[in-house]
Amino acid sequence: MNYDVILIRYGELALKGKNRDQFEDALVRSVKSVLRSFFKVKVRRNYGRMYVELHGEDAYAVMERLKRVFGISSFSPTIQVDPDIETIKEKALELIRQLKPEPRTFRVVTRRADKRYPIPSMEVNRIVGTHILRALPAIKVDVHEPETIVNLEIRAEGTYISCETIPGPGGLPVGVSGKVLLLLSGGIDSPVAGWMMLKRGVTLEAIHFHSYPFTSERALQKVRDLAQKLTKWGGTVRLHVVPFTEIQTAIREKCPEDYLITIMRRFMMRVSERVAENTKAKALATGESLGQVASQTLESMDTINKVISIPILRPLIGMDKVDITDLSRKIDTYELSILPYEDCCTVFTPKNPVTRPKPYLAAKFEEALDVEALVEDAVARTVIEEITTKPKETTTDLF
């Protein structure tokens, strides 16, 4: 079927009141960005709806891109017709005939947003439905669970007919909720956390702690590849790669073994807070899930949180591993995450880490370290990489 326009709907944005225009403008920018390679496409919006005019572009290729745009609740490929009822009848019949396999049941749903249109919605439903029934004897009406719904939207800017409604990812357009710095490891959890933060409209940057030679270049490349997966949902991700070897070595030499993970995480938070300040990020985000590992008990989180004042967002906090893993498969990060390249958190994991660390004990053990010097050195030697939607376009510069 040669479609004319893809009609985009957005649910949560409609509740934004006086800020609605700001959110809709952000969604327009997101849609234009993901469709920039479709040169003939035109994007426009009217109150409550957005339209992607195809002008001959492949509707299905365009829709594959729209499935990754946060802020879209659903969309439909449509044909645009004149509001004449005879034209509507014929085009609706033509559209339903194109469906494979041919549906056995249907209903017609009309939304008459343009109240100047002289025929009431229920009457349009009856006229169009009757026409389809007479032309297709094998099909029946089912108003409760039809196989196909013929959607008619009669609006001031045009009349649109569709038989498909494709769910979007929902959420808010990327960029409307400020900037967040994601602690990105090579595991399953943190990329999912990043995806969930993008869904709430943040601009995402990422920070990774690399302990060469204890962790390999392949481990770092895995993190780059995971960040690249996230760019498909939120655009370019700036990845801050922190040299962490000196900090981890000092902790291992001077601190009790059972507190290694706790103190290491406290240093990660200190460094991340400095980087966030430099990048104007308003919060940190992690892939922590309550009770999943020793460093993710409430006591551990409290002890780790004590060293910084910036908010820490934990979007996975109430999810279990099965839920997180299922979502990682849906967003296509799982296969990368399970590659057997260790990160800095797994290399130095003690046999019996403390599960209920005390903040005063962690602070006491850190007295053996020059905390400020170690943090400043790590921040100064942090390298920024621009991760784009195309892996080969990665560029690097010093912090």
Positions at the binding site for ATP = 183-184, 208-209, 265, 287, 296
CB 362 within 8 A of CB 267: no
State how beta strands 74-81 and 105-112 pair. unpaired
Q: How far is CA 43 from CA 32, 81, 175, in A?
A: 7, 18, 19
CA 344, CA 211: separation in Å to the nearest integer?
Answer: 6
C-alpha torsion sign, points 239, 388, 6, 192: negative
Q: Where are the beta strands (DSSP E) in the chain?
A: 5-9, 42-46, 49-53, 74-81, 105-112, 140-141, 148-155, 158-162, 166-167, 179-183, 203-210, 237-243, 283-285, 312-313, 383-387, 395-398
3-state secondary structure of 323: helix
Residue 160 burial (C-beta neighbours within 10 Å; 0-12, 13-18, 19+): buried
Q: Which amino acid is at 263?
A: I
Lateral strand order in the sheet of 312-313: 312-313, 283-285, 179-183, 203-210, 237-243, 383-387, 395-398
CA 217 to mean position of chain CA atoms: 27
Cis bond upstream, residue 101 (ω within 30): yes
Give me 13's structure tokens: 């944005």
Query: Could you tell me how many helices (H) and strands (E) the chain has, helices first?
Result: 14, 16
3-state secondary structure of 182: strand
Annotated binding site: 183-184, 208-209, 265, 287, 296
CA 279 to mean position of chain CA atoms: 21
